[in-house]
Amino acid sequence: MIKKILAGCVLVFALIILLSSMFIVTEGEYVCIRRFGKIIDTKDSAGLYFKMPFVDSKLTLPNKKILYNLPASNVLTKDKKDMVIDNYIIWYISDPVEFVKSIGYISEAERRIDAAVYNTVKNTMGTLEQNSIINEKLSGRGEFDKIVTDEVARQLSGYGITVYDVKIKKLDLPIENEETVYQRMISEREKIAEQYRAEGEYEANKIKNEVDKQVNIIISEAKASAQELIGEGEAEYIKILSEAYSGEKKEFYEYIKTLEAMKASLKGEKTLILPLDSPITKYFKDIDN
């Protein structure tokens, strides 16, 4: 009976030892084996492994790219413009032994990354004008990212860290400056609107003036032609009459015209004083005779 219990205990104990000496490394992980605090082995590929039970302890670290978002910070450009910059960084632990020795924890690594990126960004920003940072086509923000990435990687190379990429996620004006930008945008738009209105007025007036000009030309040309026609009429009138009254008919014509003139001028109660040799008097004399 005791033997049986003993055998059972040994079996359980052996099982515990076996299980505690086995460990699994999953994809995307490093597992460091520490014996009395010292790293004696590092597993970087996934699978089932064995270690010394109780004596060895294991430390798991990520063997994958880590995204870290830096807090946004204010920086000054070369032309002393204030900007808010927000970076992200992608990094990974390339040498876990070095990493554990020099930094130890992810949070501590992020603290150092923070400091390195902040300093590098600040220094690099200080060498560039504001518009060349914002406008990539003017200078190349890609270039900026590359300079920062290289410099940060250099600073962190001793810690078993590889820096993949440092990129500007956001680059904005400080909130205090935004209102100024809005005001400028509004005034710019007002200027453009004003220009459209003025253009509209100008174009419309141009058209109207042209129309008025044409109207005047049409009317005055018509008037000119009309005068000519009327003149033609008068000329024709004179021509017809003078042809008719020429030669021997002239005397009779004058006679008739005189009578008509008398008719026209002597209408109504009038007193007429005539010289004796007036043609009208002649006729009065004729009657008297």
Partner 1 sequence: MEVINVGGNFKKVAKPPIKLIVGVIALIAFALLFFNSFYTVTDQEQAVVLTFGKVTNIEGAGIHFKLPRPIQSVVKVPVQMTQKLELGYRDQGNGNYITVDEESKMITGDFNIVKIDFFIEWKVSDPKKYLFNSEDPKGILRDSSLSAARSVVGSTSIDDVLTSGKIAIENEIKEKLIAYLDIYDIGIQVLDVKIQDSEPPTEEVKQAFKNVENAKQSKETAMNEANKYKNTEIPKAQAEADRILRNAESQKQTKINEAKGEVAKFLKMYEEYKNFEDITKTRLYLETMEEILPDITVYIEDDSSSVQKIVPLKPFNSEGGE
Question: Which is nearer to partner 1, 13 or 283 (by Cβ)?
Answer: 283
Among 214, 246, 254, 289, which residue sits at the site for partner 1 (rule: CB under 8 A)? 214
Binding mask 71-110 for partner 1 (x = CB under 8 A): -----------------x-x--------------------
For residue 251, give the amino acid letter.
E
Two structure tokens written together for 256 = 């008739």
Rounded CA-CA distance 199/248 in Å is 76
Residue 103: count other Cβ atoms within 10 Å of its Cβ: 21
Two structure tokens written together for 229 = 């026609």
Which contiguous run of DSSP H or E holds residue 234?
A: helix 175-244
The yes or no reply on residue 267 touching partner 1 (CB under 8 A) is yes
Find the part of the chain contacting partner 1 (CB under 8 A) among 96-104, 107-115, 155-163, 276-284: 276-284
Find the part of the chain contacting partner 1 (CB under 8 A) among 5-13, 50-58, 117-125, 239-247: 239-247
CB 36, min distance to partner 1, A: 26
Binding mask 25-64 for partner 1 (x = CB under 8 A): xxxxx---------------xxxx-------------x-x
Question: Which is nearer to partner 1, 38 or 264 (by Cβ)?
Answer: 264
Cβ-Cβ contacts under 8 Å for 101 (sequence gap 6 or more): 39, 160
CB 237, min distance to partner 1, A: 4
Quick check: 125 and 83 in contact, CB under 8 A? yes
Place of tokens 């004006």: 173
Two structure tokens written together for 222 = 């018509």
Quick check: 168 and 182 in contact, CB under 8 A? no
Question: Which is nearer to partner 1, 64 or 78 (by Cβ)?
Answer: 64
Question: Which is nearer to partner 1, 156 or 171 (by Cβ)?
Answer: 171
Quick check: 170 and 85 in contact, CB under 8 A? yes
Kindly identify the residues of this chain, within the stretch 182-211, that bind partner 1 according to CB under 8 A: 182, 185-186, 189-190, 192-197, 199-201, 203-208, 210-211
